[in-house]
Amino acid sequence: MAKDTSAFDFGNYLNQLGVQASPYVTQANRFIYGMAPQTAAKAAGYTGKGLLTPAMLQRGAMGVSTLGARRFPLVAGGLQFLGGDPIGGIGTAGGGFAGAKLGAKLGMAGGPPGMLAGALIGGAIGGGVGQGLTRSVTGIDVNNPLTGPDISIAGIPLTPYAKTKKGVKRAAELEALRLKEMLPIMEKARQQQFQRDLIGSQVQMAGQLLGNIYPR
């Protein structure tokens, strides 16, 4: 028996009605959609022709929220990496990515705004946990410059100890360079002082000699 395609889909009707009957949710979806229109259009399946329906708007906003859930923690971890804390940055990126993904799933009940809020909260919590985990595994204390293993990649120190070691080496190189530049100046000053001392001693000897020849 052929399936009656004209049957009324009550569940789908309720979903569409809920989207259309919530102006605040629609406004939020429009705002999120506008944050990354190309990504949203791809997620919504909107080709740019015809009207953008509320359902397509919601799918597009959910696509943008998912994108944010994946990228925000990676950006935060990358900035932390470039800021001088690569081990912590790796933990922030990894933990934040997992936390944001989980938070977005938990926030799906609230639609795209809920997903975005869940991603931000989950990313922040996951980033903190991941950062602490990577630091504890490597034995790093950011307040102690002598903690952690001596790890460097392509000359870039990754731990506080490696940074301290590189800093001490640079300080020694700068001190050696300073002494090398000062040696000619110091030698010239020594020669000038020697000449002054020599002239002074000669004047003193001449005075003594004259005193012996012409006694008072």
Assess contact for 58 and 111: CB atoms under 8 A. Answer: yes
pLDDT at 19: 45
Give whichever of 92-101, 104-113, 133-142, 155-164 has the largest mean pLDDT: 92-101
- For the cut 50, the answer to whether the pLDDT of residue 157 exceeds it is yes
List, for residues 20-66, the tens digit of each pLDDT value. Answer: 445 656 777 777 777 777 777 887 787 777 777 777 877 777 777 77
Listed in sequence order, the residues at least 6 apart from 110 whose beta carbon sits closer than 8 Å to its beta carbon are 117, 118
- For the cut 80, the answer to whether the pLDDT of residue 2 exceeds it is no
Rounded distance between C-alpha atoms, residue 45 and residue 130, angstroms = 35
Residue 156, SS3 per DSSP: strand
198-210 b/e (C-beta count within 10 Å ≥ 16 → b): eeeeeeeeeeeee
Which of 153, 157, 173 lies closest to 165, judged by CA? 157
| Domain ranges across the chain | 11-138, 156-216
DSSP state of 84: T
Rounded distance between C-alpha atoms, residue 123 and residue 138, angstroms = 22
* Angle, in degrees to the nearest 10, between helices 23-35 and 111-138: 50
Listed in sequence order, the residues at least 6 apart from 156 whose beta carbon sits closer than 8 Å to its beta carbon are 86
List, for residues 14-26, the tens digit of each pLDDT value. Answer: 344 444 445 656 7
What is the dihedral sign for C-alpha 71, 72, 75, 78?
negative
pTM of the predicted model as reported, rounded to 2 decimal places = 0.53
Rounded distance between C-alpha atoms, residue 204 and residue 198, angstroms = 10
Rounded distance between C-alpha atoms, residue 118 and residue 104, angstroms = 5
- For the cut 70, the answer to whether the pLDDT of residue 13 exceeds it is no
